[in-house]
Amino acid sequence: MEIILGSASPRRKELLKQMGFDFSILISDVEEIYDPATPPENVASVLAKLKAQSLKNKLTPGQLLICCDTTVILNNEVLGKPKSKNEATETLRSLSGKRHEVISAVCMIYGNKTIEFKDSTSIEFKTLKEGEIDFYIAEYQPFDKAGSYGIQEWIGHIGIFKIEGSYTNVMGLPTQLLYKEIQKLKSV
């Protein structure tokens, strides 16, 4: 089984490598658009499937395509990737002192099979100081991250008060579930 990761995310690449898998990269250029009526808890699944569908015709027999998407949800609203420093600041202010959900969804295609699953992790930030938010944005430039932060970075180390669920899910890849699903495919 040859694994293809359908993602440009350095964090997903790192996690898949740490899981012991050899893989190549195939990046989707599909525009990540979804119906605004989509329930927030389903947005990551819709986008992961959209990416996988855009790449499936490039697969050859024996290749396993893994596509992912991660959403951050606060008060039933999806917080996307920030487009500016101001947007990142506002997002981190909104997360400060509150609990939010991070959902990572995976869509895998192997032959004529499509396997979809997702995981949810609850995160609670301490109350962040303005200086902490400013420092993080200036030093880490979190413009490629849903919710304007990376749990594995400085803000995660100093700001995460509580986590319930998978840590790797928050990084963008629910590794425990992914491993289980790959093992199931290998045993078929």
Residue with tokens 């319930």: 164
70's tokens: 């991660």
Q: What is the pLDDT along the chain (188 residues), one digit of tens a residue?
A: 999 999 989 999 999 999 999 999 999 889 889 999 999 999 999 999 999 999 999 999 999 999 999 999 999 999 989 999 999 999 999 999 999 999 999 999 999 999 999 999 999 999 999 999 999 999 999 998 999 999 999 999 999 999 999 999 999 999 999 999 999 998 87
Question: How many angstroms separate the CA atoms of 11 and 152, rounded?
Answer: 9
What span, in angstroms and rounded, lies between the C-alpha atoms of 167 and 120? Answer: 10
pLDDT of residue 187: 83
Is 144 in the active site? Answer: no
User: What domains can be seen in the chain, in order of their start residue?
Assistant: 2-186 (3.90.950.10)
pTM (2 decimals)?
Answer: 0.94
**Selected catalytic residue, list 29, 35, 69, 144:** 69
Given a contact cutoff of 8 angstroms between Cβ atoms, the answer to whether 121 and 102 are in contact is yes
Q: At residue 46, what is the residue type?
A: V
Return the exposure string of 43-67: e unless at least 16 CB atoms fall within 10 Å of the residue's CB, then b: bbbbbbbbbbebbeeebeeebbbbb
